[in-house]
Structure 1
Amino acid sequence: MDDDKKPETDTWYVLADGTHAHPADVGSGEDGVLKSKGGVPVALRENGLPRTSGVAVKSNKKAARAGEGARSTETKAVKPLDQQGGYATRESKAQ
């Protein structure tokens, strides 16, 4: 596989509940335990180091903040043609 075609990945923390968290959303509390902003602790390996996982960059935008200000997937209502503004083509100007 060519290097150009490999998907880019980021390293994210795996949380105790099985979800992933961006490193910027994880910090250590007063007790020294790594936790997400939501308070879920980071899962640890057998050797005591934090568990991490490679996450594809393209899916990061959707998966990263699911539930935290994620964009709505609802469709917007379309305005009638006579109320739409915007770009006018030569053909529409000629009418």
Structure 2
Amino acid sequence: MFLSYSRKDSEFVDRLELSLNERGITTWKNRSDIPGGDNWVKMIEEAVRACEMMLVVLSPQSVISTYVQKEYIYAGQMLKMVIPLRYQKMMPSCPKA
């Protein structure tokens, strides 16, 4: 499972990844799985192609991240299942009338 997220959500994603791994789900995320100096765009594209599905962690930071957007758009082009996971509210509540 490819994990797409904002680096600002790394603490949550680290816990999520551990929980998924404990349940036997193999995960891939860009921070820990790309050796230094490698072409990270190519590595991410290869990881998306190789994964069965993508989990997109939605937060105020990730929804404005061009990298997260590119990852899930590419996953869609590769016909991968994309699962959204809302981590934080994206919009403030509407004011009361």
TM range (shorter): under 0.3
Relative contact order: is structure 1 or structure 2 higher (C-alpha 8 Å, sep ≥ 6)?
Answer: 2
Higher helix content, 1 or 2: 2
Give 1 or 2 for the bigger CA radius of gyration. Answer: 1
Provide TM-score, normalisation by structure 1. Answer: 0.23
Provide TM-score, normalisation by structure 2. Answer: 0.23
